């Protein structure tokens, strides 16, 4: 068995997804402390989710690239809903000035791009 494969009880898998997502209106707000905070939280939140692992992450000023290993028992859309939802709540708690800049109280754009 090659090392890059992971194992569940009855499944051997290698599911890697490159995901890109943006703040609402693609505002260029992910810089400095906020960008570093989002980067750390991505690793922390995915570490809390069973069978989800961050392979690589890059936070740009107006978007985020993440390569995730997700077990086949989880859907990409559920993982992204969890990640974007928790990130938004924590950003608004720790950076309340950001909420004032974004109308409607939404931090992330609804969409994201994913490829295997």
Q: What is the pLDDT of residues 10-20, one digit of tens each?
A: 888 889 999 99
Q: Binning pLDDT at 50, 70 and 90, where does residue 45 land? A: very high
pLDDT tens, residue by residue, 59-107: 999 999 999 999 998 999 999 999 999 999 999 999 988 887 776 778 9
Which tops the pLDDT comparison, 44 or 98? 44
In this prediction, residue 2 carries a pLDDT of 53
**Separation in Å, CA 87 to CA 6, 18, 41, 58:** 27, 18, 7, 15
Q: Calculate the average pLDDT of the chain.
A: 91
Evaluate whether 21 touches 41 at the Cβ level (below 8 Å): no
């Amino acid at each position: 068995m090659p090392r890059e494969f992971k194992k569940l009880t009855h499944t051997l898998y290698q599911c890697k997804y490159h995901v890109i997502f943006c703040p609402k209106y693609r505002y260029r707000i992910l810089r400095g402390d906020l960008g570093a905070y989002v980067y750390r939280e991505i690793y922390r939140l995915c570490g809390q989710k069973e069978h989800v692992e961050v392979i690589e992450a890059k936070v740009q000023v107006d978007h985020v690239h993440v390569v995730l290993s997700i077990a086949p028992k989880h859907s990409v859309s559920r993982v992204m809903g969890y990640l974007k939802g928790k990130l938004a709540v924590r950003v608004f708690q720790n950076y309340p000035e950001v909420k004032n800049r974004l109308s409607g109280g939404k931090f992330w754009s609804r969409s994201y791009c994913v490829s295997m």
